[in-house]
């Protein structure tokens, strides 16, 4: 990924790789003495799903090493100078999920318990300060999924990432070019995400160019999402969808990691499906995000407008989202009181060819919560959240959520855009209320245990359009990064 700083539903959906630059260009860049900004003095990066952007250059300085077991894996020298080296790492995750009355009793198997397990090792080869080759496999399996596994549950063993990256300093600026199969995550991952919360992540095939210029970062990309299959090494570049974008981020001197995103995203889908029907979809998104943290406050506000064409009609859709809170650091357990809220437009008339349903394109795998039931289409949502930091290892989060349809003429969708409840002729907007409790334990920096419970009570819209049983969900996982 090449991305700006940031923060699929459980209803499951369901190699052509651009070539690297020519060898002469590679040799010129490898042999050139200049390099990008030094990371001397930098702290070890946090473990996350963005392995491909982690910066371990501080390990060049022996005095900065802490002696942790994984540090030798991050710089395996292959040359006397140490400029050619390997960085090794990855993730192991085991996750269990159980539903009672999934989709309010309308799922093919409403009471379902299953196990997800995956391994994602990577090799990062640095050929000098300007050239790197990154490769990562995913081995993802599922047990007990009913009625059958889908491509977000299982892919067996496949290529998750395989790209070449070149860096070229331009005075005080740095130009990076990345081509191949890669994960992408931008901003808050509301529109372009790795789909990390599900068992199988979402890679893209294509190219990304980035320019770092002081407080500015500008990305330009053209990619196609990868169609993930259920067998080993059967993933292929998708033919139905394409994504292109110009994404800029400007750092702001307002506090910790504060900034402003401005972006354009283009999208084409030959097989778009919404409540009003199916057709060719060509959509353009203009968006902005203001984010940061200072003096106990943290904030993340985003607004979008979409236009384009769907089948024989015109697209005009919009959304606004917020996530803000305050941490009472002086109080016991350092409670953080937060509020997430958003409005996401829905279609105004299914009989009219024009479409007002907002499309989140490639959103986060667990968009609103651990249960991952609803997707960000045709919704009004309010989520108060209270988080307690019991110690450096333990954290407890309690959240509530209220959901309404933004338009009473549109249906209810899952995270992948699948229609899970049509409008059914109901004028009711209230979908339901939810509570969620999450307990997280990290005994080591590299290890995390998490358990969650969610309860979703149906509102009037669900009651008027089908089964309305209360949903119960339990999730439990253990994760190791290295």
Kindly report the three-state secondary structure assignment for every residue of 325-393: EEECCCCCCCCEEEEEEEEECCCCCCCCCCECCCCCCECCCCCCCCCCCCCCCCEEEEEEEEEEECCCC
Residue 109 within a domain: yes
- Which of 15-19, 115-119, 411-415, 439-443 has the weakest average pLDDT? 15-19
Determine the pLDDT at residue 53: 86
The phi and psi torsions of 110 (rounded to 5 degrees) equal -60, -35
Cα gap 482→241, rounded to integer Å: 34
Cα gap 9→413, rounded to integer Å: 10
| Confidence band, pLDDT 50/70/90 cuts, at residue 6 | very low
pTM of the shown model: 0.88
Residue 11 within a domain: no
Which helix (H) or strand (E) covers residue 279, if one does? Answer: strand 277-294
Indicate if the pLDDT at residue 29 is higher than 60.
no
Residue 273 within a domain: yes
Determine the pLDDT at residue 43: 63
- Residues with Cβ within 8 Å of residue 143, at least 6 apart in sequence: 114, 115, 117
Determine the pLDDT at residue 58: 79
What is the distance in angstroms between the CA of the first residue and the CA of the last residue of the chain? 19
Taking only Cα atoms into account, the Rg of the chain, rounded to an integer number of angstroms, comes to 23
Residue count (the chain): 482
Q: Give the rounded distance of the alpha carbon of 209 from its chain centre.
A: 20
Report the domain count for the chain.
Answer: 1
Cα gap 302→304, rounded to integer Å: 7
- Residues with Cβ within 8 Å of residue 344, at least 6 apart in sequence: 319, 321, 358, 360, 376, 377, 378, 379, 380, 381, 406
The stretch 318-324 carries a mean pLDDT of 98
Residue 38 within a domain: yes
Instruction: Classify 339 as helix, strand or coil.
Output: strand
More confident site: 68 or 333:
333
* Domain enclosing residue 262, as ranges: 23-481
The phi and psi torsions of 284 (rounded to 5 degrees) equal -120, 135
Q: Any bridge partners for residue 96, and if so which?
A: 115, 476
CATH code for the domain of 30: 2.40.160.100
Which helix (H) or strand (E) covers residue 30, if one does? Answer: helix 23-31
Residue 3 within a domain: no
Indicate if the pLDDT at residue 31 is higher than 90.
no
Digit-coded pLDDT (tens) for 158-205: 999 999 999 999 999 999 999 999 999 999 999 999 999 999 999 999
| Confidence band, pLDDT 50/70/90 cuts, at residue 90 | very high
Cα gap 104→109, rounded to integer Å: 11
Residue 414 within a domain: yes
| CB 114, CB 153: distance < 8 Å | yes
Residue 237 within a domain: yes
| Confidence band, pLDDT 50/70/90 cuts, at residue 75 | confident
The percent of residues above 90 in pLDDT, for the chain, comes to 78
The stretch 283-303 carries a mean pLDDT of 97
Indicate if the pLDDT at residue 407 is higher than 50.
yes
Digit-coded pLDDT (tens) for 350-387: 999 999 999 999 999 899 999 999 999 999 999 999 99
The percent of residues above 70 in pLDDT, for the chain, comes to 91
Determine the pLDDT at residue 37: 35
| CB 423, CB 408: distance < 8 Å | yes
Indicate if the pLDDT at residue 331 is higher than 70.
yes
Digit-coded pLDDT (tens) for 455-468: 999 999 999 999 99
Report the mean per-residue pLDDT for the chain.
89
Residue 446 within a domain: yes
- Residues with Cβ within 8 Å of residue 293, at least 6 apart in sequence: 255, 256, 257, 258, 299
Indicate if the pLDDT at residue 40 is higher than 70.
no
Determine the pLDDT at residue 256: 76
The phi and psi torsions of 460 (rounded to 5 degrees) equal -60, -40
């Amino acid at each position: 990924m090449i991305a700006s700083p940031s923060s699929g539903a459980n209803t499951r959906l369901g190699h052509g790789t651009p070539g690297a630059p020519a060898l002469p260009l590679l040799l010129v860049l490898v042999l050139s003495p200049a390099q990008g900004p030094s990371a001397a003095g930098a702290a070890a990066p946090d473990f996350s799903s963005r392995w491909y952007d982690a910066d371990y250059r501080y390990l060049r300085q022996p005095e900065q090493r802490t002696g942790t077991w994984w540090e030798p894996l991050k710089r395996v020298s292959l040359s006397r100078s140490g400029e050619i080296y390997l960085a090794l790492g990855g993730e192991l995750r085991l996750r269990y999920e159980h539903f009672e009355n999934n989709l309010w009793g309308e799922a093919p198997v409403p009471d379902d318990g299953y196990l997800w397990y995956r391994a994602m090792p990577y090799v990062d080869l640095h050929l000098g300060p300007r050239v790197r080759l990154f490769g990562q496999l995913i081995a993802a399996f599922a047990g007990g999924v009913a009625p059958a596994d889908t491509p977000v549950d299982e892919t067996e063993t496949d290529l998750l990432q395989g790209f070449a990256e070149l860096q070229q300093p331009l005075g005080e600026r740095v130009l990076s070019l990345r081509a191949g199969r890669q994960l992408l995550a931008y901003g808050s991952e509301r529109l372009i995400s790795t789909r990390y919360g599900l068992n199988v992540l979402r890679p893209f095939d294509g190219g990304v160019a980035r320019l770092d210029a002081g407080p500015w970062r500008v990305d330009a990309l053209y990619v196609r999402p990868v169609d993930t299959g259920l067998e080993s090494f059967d993933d292929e570049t998708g033919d139905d969808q394409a994504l292109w974008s110009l994404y800029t981020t400007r750092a702001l001197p307002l506090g910790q990691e504060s900034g402003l995103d401005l972006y354009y995203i283009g999208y084409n889908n030959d097989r778009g499906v919404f409540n009003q029907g199916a057709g060719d979809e060509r959509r353009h998104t203009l968006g902005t995000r203001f984010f940061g943290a200072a003096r106990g406050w943290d904030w993340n506000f985003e607004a979008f407008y979409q236009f384009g064409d769907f089948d024989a009609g015109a697209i005009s859709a919009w959304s606004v989202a917020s996530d803000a809170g305050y941490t009472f650091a002086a109080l016991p357990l350092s409670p953080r009181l937060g509020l997430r809220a958003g409005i996401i437009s829905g279609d105004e008339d299914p009989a009219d060819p024009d479409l007002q349903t907002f499309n989140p394109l490639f959103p986060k795998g667990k968009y609103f919560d651990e249960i991952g039931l609803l997707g960000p289409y045709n919704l009004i949502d309010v989520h108060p959240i209270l988080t307690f930091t019991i110690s450096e290892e333990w954290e407890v989060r309690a959240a509530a959520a209220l959901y309404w349809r933004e338009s009473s003429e549109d249906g209810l969708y899952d995270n992948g855009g699948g229609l899970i409840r049509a409008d059914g002729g109901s004028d009711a907007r209230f979908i339901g209320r939810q509570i969620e409790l999450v307990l997280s334990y990290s005994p080591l920096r590299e290890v995390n245990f998490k358990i969650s419970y969610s309860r979703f009570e149906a509102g009037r819209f669900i009651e008027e359009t089908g089964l309305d049983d209360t949903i119960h969900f339990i999730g439990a996982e253990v994760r190791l990064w290295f």
